[in-house]
């Protein structure tokens, strides 16, 4: 199950939450001020992979010419 990180647009607080599906984002509210005005940040999984040229290398190996 992916963990999503959110930031509240009302109070600026950030928090993370386990979501079963992407549609569950609509029911997420800020745990601090209970505002539904939240924005999803980059998932924890994505942030671990990013930060290098490794992603570019994978993209190149998936090029149509490699098939």
Considering only the stretches 22-30, 41-49, 51-59, report the one whose residues sit in contact with Zn ion under the rule CB under 5 A. 22-30
Contact between 10 and Zn ion (CB under 5 A)?
Answer: yes
Considering only the stretches 16-24, 33-41, 49-57, 59-67, report the one whose residues sit in contact with Zn ion under the rule CB under 5 A. 33-41
What is the Cα–Cα distance from 31 to 50, expressed in whole angstroms? 28
Q: Measured from the CB of residue 59, what is the shortest distance to Zn ion in angstroms?
A: 37
Sole binder of Zn ion in the list 22, 32, 46, 47 (CB under 5 A): 32
Nearer to Zn ion, 26 or 53 (CB): 26
What is the Cα–Cα distance from 29 to 38, expressed in whole angstroms? 7
- Strands of 38-40's sheet, edge to edge? 14-18, 3-8, 38-40
């Amino acid at each position: 199950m992916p963990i999503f990180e959110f930031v509240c647009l009302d109070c600026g607080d950030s928090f993370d939450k386990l979501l079963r599906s992407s549609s569950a984002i609509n029911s997420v509210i800020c745990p601090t001020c209970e505002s539904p005005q939240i924005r999803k940040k980059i998932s924890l999984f994505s942030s671990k992979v990013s930060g290098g040229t490794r992603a570019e290398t994978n993209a190149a190996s998936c090029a149509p010419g490699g098939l």
